[in-house]
Amino acid sequence: MLTSSTSMLSLVGALLSAGSYGADGADAATPPLPLQAAADIRRARVQLYCGHDAQAMADIRSARGRLDRSGEAPVAHARAALDKAAWLARRGHFQDAEAALDEALARLETERTQT
């Protein structure tokens, strides 16, 4: 019979092993910055919907930063929509901010398919 401390050590060991599994190829599996930005935008929408305004703003800033770092010229319309969303969210216009985030996602998708 295992003691609770042995069980706990086994669990910790398993978690550490699982966490390191596949870490060697992590850089190769990193999606492009515009796709990461799209994930940030989706998270921001959820955060706004749930009333977590500070986290939503952090996600919007993160998405904007990723688009800036991508260096891709076609994402300019998506960046403008993110700026609009941030402005609206700071003023408490959350439904309009969500619509602007939807616009940013649509712009990213349109610009991604055109390139």
Cα–Cα nearest to 59, from 28, 32, 26, 97: 97
CATH homologous superfamily for 33-114?
IL-4 antagonist (De novo design) like domain (1.20.120.660)
Q: What is the pLDDT of residues 24-43, one digit of tens each?
A: 554 557 788 889 999 999 99
Q: Return the domain boundaries, the chain.
A: 33-114
Taking Cα atoms as reference points, which of 93, 43, 86 lies closest to residue 61? Answer: 86
Amino acid (1-letter code) at residue 109: E
pLDDT (tens digit per residue) in 83-104: 999 999 999 999 999 999 999 9
Residue 114, Cβ density class (10 Å: 0-12 exposed, 13-18 middle, ≥19 buried): exposed
pLDDT at residue 110, rounded to an integer: 84
pLDDT (0 to 100) of residue 79 = 92
Model confidence at 22: pLDDT above 80:
no
pTM (2 d.p.): 0.71
